[in-house]
Structure 1
Amino acid sequence: MLLPELFMLLFWLGVKFTVTTVDMRKKPAELKDLAPGTNPPFLLYNGTLKTDFIKIEEFLEQTLAPPRYPHLSPLNKESFDVGADIFAKFSAFIKNSPNNAVQKKNLLKEFKRLDDFLNSPLPEEIDHHSTETIGTSNRKFLDGNRLTLADCNLLPKLHVIRIASKKYCDFDIPVHFTGVWRYLQNASEREEFKQTCPADIEIEKAYFSVANNRK
């Protein structure tokens, strides 16, 4: 099993890899021996096993580094922070539907935070020698016009939120969040995103049990 976030990251970097589908209800013997009691993803490199998603990300960032690979980290710390809570708010929202007015409000608050950030010019977009004021940013991604690790983390989550929320909660990301929709539109034009996101039906299947065991 390869999380969409890691799948997108490796695809973007141009790393050659093989995806093997595993039925976690019938783990192969090699998986049981490799990491007993642990669910994927995990990474084995030179005999060292990493099972923590954050540690795997850190390893990839250190190993797949310039000049052979593009720089992964965003320049601005907030590019990483801005979407950190949105998936947790979505999880609470979908688990408590239809009596989820509070959770919906919390989710919308996170979307507004993301939208405000995407529409606000980054420091490097501002020409301090110009008398003109940039009102709204037109950048494609969180940290500018290039993908970073922050995008590989957030975009697959936003895709899941959009599909599962629509299917089971009749919730759409509000159209007035123009920055979020611009971001998703730009992502949809990238092969890294299109080729690594799960199909809608797979997301719907994954959240079927959640939707049918709601409070």
Structure 2
Amino acid sequence: MQRGQMDQKRVADTPEIELFVKASSDAESVGNCPFCQRLFMILWLKGAIFKITTVDMKRAPHVLKTLAPGSQPPFLLYNGELKTDTNKIEEFLEEKLAPPQYTKLGCRYKESTSIGEDIFRKFSAYIKNPNPGLNDMLQKKFLSTLVKLNMYLETPLTHELDQNPHATESCRPYLDGDTLTLADCNLLPKLNIVKVVCKKYRDFDIPAELKGLTRYLDNASKKDEFRFTCPNDAEILIAYQSVAKYLNAK
């Protein structure tokens, strides 16, 4: 097959992908939704050609109500086929957008996919509590989830020990190794929310002593696929202003 024919075939094989994400409060940019950012990151990391459509759910056009009635973003159109479940969309994209044309994003280590899964739940309990008497207990439970994540990030993985059997501390930039994976696409948007909301309502910063976690967030902040898919901090705070509580004296 000649080069021109190969290029034409590649174009013909390129799927039409449109990702619908939550719009910001001014309906101009991407709003606060970790599930939307998760899929946005996945498509970007895979090197796919896709269209992003922001959906203002307060003024959703009739065509969207027809397309996905009762659904909340994110949802995906893949060659005209509608997908509405975030986890299933992730699995679908990993299967359909496969090597050699697209980047594989699956993890080598099962632990990478589950670490940090309890952070958001403990964070929510901590940040929604208005009672100062419960704050220390809830903060300790929340902090323990960050410590657990930090320990995983500081512990050398098998491939690191293969390269250096005497390694006692990992220096990998991301959860599973040297590149961002599906696990990072799931966790990083949530950690970004945690950072912004805890600072506002509890004056709480992720402790610098958690070196693995600090390194992880610093490395992620340098990646376009993460920082350019993040909502503005103001959007995150708008989303939480009705549920996050300042501590009130009892």
Task: Tell me the TM-score normalised to structure 2 length.
Answer: 0.79
Q: Aligned residue pairs: how many? A: 213
Classify 1:167/1:213 alpha carbon distance in 2 versus 1 (closer, same or farther; 3 Å): closer
Residue 127 of structure 1 corresponds to which residue in structure 2? 162
Paired with 1:112 and 1:188, the residues of 2 have a C-alpha distance of 20
Q: CA deviation at 1:31?
A: 1.3
1:144 aligns with 2:173: no
1:69 aligns with 2:102: yes
1:109 aligns with 2:110: no
Paired with 1:41 and 1:192, the residues of 2 have a C-alpha distance of 17
Paired with 1:172 and 1:119, the residues of 2 have a C-alpha distance of 19
Map residues 1-215 of structure 1 onto 2, 5 A cutoff.
Answer: 1-2=20-21, 3-99=36-132, 100-127=135-162, 133-211=166-244
> Which structure has greater strand proportion?
2
Paired with 1:14 and 1:6, the residues of 2 have a C-alpha distance of 13
3-state SS of 2:55 partner: coil
Q: CA deviation at 1:103?
A: 2.3
Q: CA deviation at 1:47?
A: 4.7
Point out the structure with max Rg over C-alpha: 2
Q: CA deviation at 1:214?
A: 8.4
Q: CA deviation at 1:104?
A: 1.5
The root-mean-square deviation of aligned C-alpha atoms, in Å, is: 2.0
Paired with 1:186 and 1:109, the residues of 2 have a C-alpha distance of 22
The superposition leaves residues 35-87 of structure 1 with CA deviations (integer Å, 9 ceiling, x where unpaired) of 22111111233453221111111111111111111111110000011011111
> Does structure 2 conserve the Cα–Cα contact (< 8 Å) formed by 1:97 and 1:169?
no
Q: CA deviation at 1:17?
A: 2.4
Paired with 2:140 and 2:40, the residues of 1 have a C-alpha distance of 31
Q: CA deviation at 1:97?
A: 4.0
Flag structure 1 segments of 5+ consecutive residues without an equivalent.
none
- Runs of 4+ more than 6 Å apart: none
Task: Tell me the TM-score normalised to structure 1 length.
Answer: 0.91
Residue 30 of structure 2 corresponds to which residue in structure 1? none
3-state SS of 1:211 partner: coil
Classify 1:67/1:17 alpha carbon distance in 2 versus 1 (closer, same or farther; 3 Å): same
Paired with 2:208 and 2:247, the residues of 1 have a C-alpha distance of 27
One-letter code aligned to 1:121:
P
Q: Percent identity?
A: 52
